[in-house]
Structure 1
Amino acid sequence: MPKLTIITIVYNNVRDIERTIKSVLNQTYKNIEYIVIDGASTDGTLQVVEQYKNQISKIISEPDKGIYDAMNKGLALATGDYVLFMNSGDEIYDPKTVEDIFASSPGADIYYGETEMYNDNWESLGRRRHEAPEEFDWTSFKYGMSISHQAIYIRRSIVTPYDLTYRYSSDIDWIIKAAKKASNIVNVNRYVAKYLVGGMSKKKHRESLKERFKIFTKYYGLLPNIFNHMVIAVNLALYFVKHRRTND
């Protein structure tokens, strides 16, 4: 039973934090270290977190320099064999998710699965437009981020701190770096996370896209990246045409 460190970062999200905490604490898998990093919230978030302090391994509440700085604080405290980020507003899919993941194939470097999207009223929007690929490696993001951050469990020994030069898309860089080191990547072929749409990368969409282009160019090369983005644009157009017909 490998030890899993789950890290939740939160800042002023009193509405959603309890839902996220419960999704972790309700797991049937028991070898979990749970770390909550709060950015010195002022809206009552910390008071909600403190209600569960006996079941949470570590709670840190202090100002940070942004989302990835907070994530790095969590990584620095992690002692598990694997790490998972389940940030405030998101949920592990169901109580048996972690148990099923580790039972699927022992000893993988990375486990990943599918994500279900939810809107602000916590109503399901269905699967992500970028569905998880059947097989995944470090080149799999060339047509977009096909695995969400909440749906990937990575062996801690192959992760590095988040690169703070990226403000909105450092998670893409982080996953690619880990995937380059991984020799055994397992698709668990099930939903593993529920994702609340509308995070920082959505609010700062233009800046996020610029960062993604920069990251993809770094790993895949400029000309292949330009071609890949043309493919992304065509796929996006086809997706909207298909769904418009479905909705008509």
Structure 2
Amino acid sequence: MNNPSENPKVSIITVVFNARSTLERTIQSVRSLDYSHVEYLVVDGGSTDGTLDIIRRYEAHINAWISEPDKGLYDAMNKGLNMATGDYVWFLNAGDEVAAPQVLTRLFEQRPGADIYYGDTMIVDLEGKEIGHRRLSPPRSLTWKDFHRGMLVSHQSILVARSLATPYDLRYRFSADYDWVLSALRRARVVVNGEMVLSRFLDGGLTKKNILPGLKERFKIMKKNFGLLATFFHHIPITCRFLRYLLIHRRF
């Protein structure tokens, strides 16, 4: 970032559609933060299940929100980016939670002014019970080249300087987040590992529910960035690790 600050403004963006049962815990977790320089934005896709009642109930704690039809998850996330005015953007969608009230304070105390901050992710179920850490653990240091091993950092556990946050590529319906993070990493100069869990991610999600088309899209993105031959050979260990994890943990 051009003007490092010890107290940068963070735009937390929540995208939601018909998620009355999970949105409130996301809002409550954002409210729990002990960091005051937060802009909270909610992008609703035109919910009809009572989600809007929850948004209105917490309207005093939401800086801005919209509710209108969209072209899918990543179109809604682009709307959130357009609304954001913070130094950083952080996506926590309906059902996801901040891992602890102190996470932002601790991040910026470590090293102010980084282009990207990242950390680990705890997977939780609908009741909020911890299932375990994400299958792919974040490496100690991270560059765009590390993404040849897959999406090593959960989208919910990465803060990107808004100056690096380009729109999501709507050609990808299930893996635009992989493309987006990889693109930001390619342009980043300073990437900081927070060395802690940043978010609690609600198990499921768009990509997990569409695993095969999501993997096909990711292969295309990897081929674009790393070349066909390298992508093919990188997928051999990726597949082996995936199958081994699935056999041991019975989840992915």
Q: The TM-score by the shorter chain falls in which range?
A: over 0.9
Aligned length: 244
Amino acid at match of 2:231: N
Distance 1:6 1:121, change over 3 A: same
The match for 1:210 among 206, 216, 220 is 216
Alignment correspondent of 1:233:
239
Offset of residue 241 of structure 1: 4.9
Offset of residue 238 of structure 1: 3.3
The match for 1:86 among 83, 87, 92 is 92
Q: Which runs of 5+ in 2 are unaligned?
A: 1-6
The match for 1:17 among 19, 23, 27 is 23
Offset of residue 239 of structure 1: 2.8
Alignment correspondent of 2:82:
76
Residues 75-97 of structure 1 deviation map (CA, whole Å, 9 limit, x = unaligned): 00110000000000100101111
Offset of residue 120 of structure 1: 2.8
TM-score of the aligned structures, taking structure 2 as reference length: 0.94
Q: Distance in 1 between matches of 2:42 and 2:95?
A: 13
TM-score of the aligned structures, taking structure 1 as reference length: 0.96
The match for 2:162 among 153, 156, 164 is 156
Q: Secondary structure at the match of 1:16?
A: helix
Q: Distance in 2 between matches of 1:213 and 1:65?
A: 23
**Alignment RMSD, CA only?**
1.1
Residues 188-232 of structure 1 deviation map (CA, whole Å, 9 limit, x = unaligned): 100110001111111111111110111111111111111110011
Residues 50-90 of structure 1 deviation map (CA, whole Å, 9 limit, x = unaligned): 11111110010111110000000010011000000000010
**Which residues of 2 match residues 48-197 of structure 1 at below 5 A?**
48-197=54-203
Amino acid at match of 1:60: I
After alignment, is 164-173 or 229-238 more displaced? 229-238
Offset of residue 18 of structure 1: 0.3
Q: Secondary structure at the match of 2:20?
A: coil
Offset of residue 103 of structure 1: 1.2
Sequence identity of aligned pairs in percent?
A: 47
Distance 1:96 1:235, change over 3 A: same
Q: Secondary structure at the match of 1:202?
A: helix
Q: Secondary structure at the match of 1:29?
A: coil
The match for 2:10 among 1, 4, 8 is 4
Q: Distance in 2 between matches of 1:95 and 1:160?
A: 28
Q: Distance in 1 between matches of 2:34 and 2:221?
A: 37
Offset of residue 143 of structure 1: 1.2
Q: Which runs of 5+ in 1 are unaligned?
A: none
Q: Distance in 2 between matches of 1:148 and 1:240?
A: 18
